[in-house]
């Protein structure tokens, strides 16, 4: 087999199936529940209406106090009864005395996995809460390690941004996982490792870039009045997103928590939620 044939075979092997074209949907948010576990629910509600003006238009707001539940099952029961479209809470809910440093707390862990309701995580923790910006949110970043085909994630990102603001669609391929692919390729005699690794990297990033470009086309035609930006790269998830958040002064991160292959929260979303405590996050 010639070198060119090897490259063609390798490229064919890793060529991914065509994704459905992106479809814009204006996500309805008519009911919001605020669960902080203390007396700050009303203050948080007022702050949210300023920070997310489009959410402030919600028809109804619900306040769930610490005395309204004593375990996860009771909290879920209250949430289900109120049929909310968005849940707002804090890290380490009802665990102020424990102050765990490397987790989100039992309640938030369970909420993200046992309900399909999006969870808006306030900055800080229950023990050391941080204030939301007093200005409307104008800089939203949608983050993924497989953004292609993720319509819901992108639609929620644009839904949260204030008119005239900016939305970043970002895709970061984990460089450590990629290196394991490269090491595996090096063990296959039929594939020349150098062009094979290059082709794989190009294909992984090209798919994400092409999908984002189709999203931009649709959003410019039918979406809200926001500026659209993108970032597609290899790197370490937490390090790369920390840099992007700081450089672009991002005010809200949007990420998926569900993983089809496991019950636990998606690894990237969990790491970002634990590490980027100072940034409000919408977890889907």
pLDDT tens digits, residue range 66-89?
A: 889 999 999 999 999 989 999 999
Q: What does R_g of the chain's alpha carbons equal in angstroms?
A: 21
pLDDT > 90: what percent of the chain? 54
pTM of structure: 0.86
Strand 31-35 and strand 86-91: pairing?
A: parallel
Nearest to 145 by CA among 264, 257, 13, 11: 257
pLDDT tens digits, residue range 195-207?
A: 667 777 888 889 8
pLDDT tens digits, residue range 209-227?
A: 999 999 999 999 999 999 9
How far, in Å, CA of 75 to CA of 66, rounded? 10
pLDDT tens digits, residue range 104-113?
A: 899 999 998 8
Structural contact between residues 141 and 255, judged by C-beta atoms closer than 8 angstroms = no
Cα angle 33-273-81, degrees, rounded to a multiple of 5: 20
Averaged pLDDT score across all residues of the chain: 85
DSSP secondary structure of 64-124: --GGG-SSHHHHHHHHHHHT-SEEEEEETTT-TTT--SSS--HHHHHHHHH--S-EEEEEE
Provide the number of structural domains found in the chain: 1
How far, in Å, CA of 242 to CA of 258, rounded? 21
Tokens of 158: 């644009």
Question: What CATH number did the domain enclosing 103 receive?
Answer: 3.40.50.620
Q: What letter would DSSP give residue 164?
A: T
pLDDT tens digits, residue range 14-23?
A: 444 455 789 9
Tokens of 122: 């306030």
Structural contact between residues 259 and 271, judged by C-beta atoms closer than 8 angstroms = no
Identify the domain containing residue 180 by its residue range: 3-283
């Amino acid at each position: 087999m010639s070198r060119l044939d090897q490259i063609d075979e390798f490229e064919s092997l890793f060529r991914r199936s065509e994704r459905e074209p992106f479809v814009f949907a204006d996500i309805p948010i008519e009911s919001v529940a605020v669960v902080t576990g203390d007396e700050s629910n009303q203050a948080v509600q007022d702050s949210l209406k300023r920070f997310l003006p489009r959410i402030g238009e919600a028809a109804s707001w619900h306040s769930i106090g610490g005395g309204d539940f004593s375990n996860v099952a009771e909290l879920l029961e209250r949430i289900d009864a109120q049929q909310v479209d968005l849940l707002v809470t804090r890290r380490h809910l009802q665990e102020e005395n424990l102050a765990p440093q490397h987790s989100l707390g039992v309640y938030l862990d369970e909420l993200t996995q046992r309900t399909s309701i999006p969870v808006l995580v306030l900055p800080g923790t229950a023990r050391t809460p941080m204030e939301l910006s007093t200005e409307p949110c104008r800089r939203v970043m949608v983050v993924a390690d497989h953004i292609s085909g993720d319509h819901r994630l992108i639609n929620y990102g644009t839904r949260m941004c204030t008119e005239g603001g900016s939305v970043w669609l970002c895709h970061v391929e984990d460089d450590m996982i990629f290196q394991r692919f490269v090491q595996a390729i090096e063990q296959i005699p039929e594939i020349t490792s150098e062009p094979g690794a290059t082709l794989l990297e190009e294909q992984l990033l090209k798919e994400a870039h092409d999908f984002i470009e189709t999203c931009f086309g649709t959003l410019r035609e039918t979406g809200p009045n926001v500026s659209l930006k993108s970032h597609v790269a290899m790197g370490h998830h937490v390090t790369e997103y920390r840099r992007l958040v700081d450089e672009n002064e991002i005010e809200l991160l949007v990420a998926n928590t569900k993983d089809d292959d496991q019950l636990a929260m998606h690894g990237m979303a969990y790491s970002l939620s634990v590490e980027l405590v100072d940034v409000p996050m919408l977890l889907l």
